Amino acid sequence: MSEPTGLHVEIVTLFPELFDSFLAASLLGKAIASGIVRVDRTNPRDFGLGKHRSVDDTPYGGGPGMILRVEPLAAAIDHVETQRGRAHRILLSPQGLPLRQAKAAELATRQRLMLICGRYEGVDERVASLYADEILSIGDYVLSGGEVAAAVVIEVVTRLVPGVVGQSESIEDESFSSGRLEYPQFTRPPAFRGLPVPPVLLSGDHAEIERWRRQEALRRTHERRPDLLVAHPVTEVESRLFKGKSVPGGGKSG
Ligand code: ADE
């Protein structure tokens, strides 16, 4: 018996090999090697129909392309859960709710996630009706399948599992957790092609650096993603940081 892991992800995909290097590299590779994260892949093709293990068919009512059939997907999901237990099942589809940081944080608290990847022109609707606990989209564009979307979900969620990313502050500081884009970051050299690092960052004055960073985060959010300011309005603390200056995105300036 292996040790209980922080997060166990089940991927149901016709292209399990697409995940090979993604799961082996960098932080995720280390988290899997150390057992904090476990990922299993199951191919619905192994549950395909007939001699050719068919997984798709033409759409009822006509129209272009092929539709993933419900039976091989259902059999793959049932098999996984009979072997390893019920998982929170997510169908990846452009029809789903958009994935956001808050959703990722919620998913990171689960023990078992199942990511069900579609392919072809679509997936028989009964997969969503009978199996999906939720449907997630990674953005308003159409991928050729759910695999890249599943990789995105895995990366976003596993980063939040304790022990996967070194310093938890580096997660808390990041874009979106607070509804703000991240402040600009610099490392050596102090000047490059005429562009210097903002002097405050070299000042050693930590209070002033913190203040500058929060100002820049707010400025950037206002310029690039004003929609975030609607959901997360300028706070009292932020408006105090901007005392005497105009606050991007409105709000009070003390
Ligand atoms: N499958 C195809 N396009 C997708 C998207 N945008 N998000 C999630 N799954 C998808």
pLDDT digits (tens, 9 = 90+) for 78-103: 999 999 999 999 999 999 999 999 99
123 beta partners: 68
Please report where in the chains the tokens 């259902």 appear, as a residue: 74
CATH of 173-252, one of 2.60.40.1120, 3.40.50.300, 1.10.1270.20, 3.40.309.10: 1.10.1270.20
Domain 7-158 has CATH 3.40.1280.10: yes
- pLDDT for the residue 173: 60
CA-closest candidate to residue 148, choices 7, 27, 11: 11
Task: Give the distance, in angstroms, between the CA of residue 158 and the centroid of all CA atoms in the same chain.
Answer: 9
State pTM to two decimals: 0.92
Atom of ligand 1 nearest to the CA of 140: 6
How far is ligand 1, taken at its centre, from the CA of residue 92, in Å? Answer: 6
56 beta partners: 68
Residues lining ligand 1, judged by CB closer than 6 Å? 92-94, 118, 137-139, 141-143, 146, 149
Q: CA–CA separation, 136 vs 96, rounded Å?
A: 4
pLDDT in tens, 99-136: 999 999 999 999 999 999 998 889 999 999 999 999 99
- pLDDT for the residue 251: 52
How far is ligand 1, taken at its centre, from the CA of residue 141, in Å? Answer: 7
* Cα–Cα–Cα angle for 89, 69, 52, rounded to 5 degrees: 120
Name residues whose C-beta falls within 8 Å of residue 246's C-beta, 6 or more positions apart in sequence: 253
Atom of ligand 1 nearest to the CA of 118: 1
Q: Where are the domains of the chain?
A: 7-158, 173-252
Question: Considering only 140-149, 164-173, 183-192, 235-244, which range has the smallest mean pLDDT?
Answer: 164-173
CA-closest candidate to residue 145, choices 114, 121, 113, 127: 121
Return the residue whose CA atom lies nearest to atom 5 of ligand 1: 94
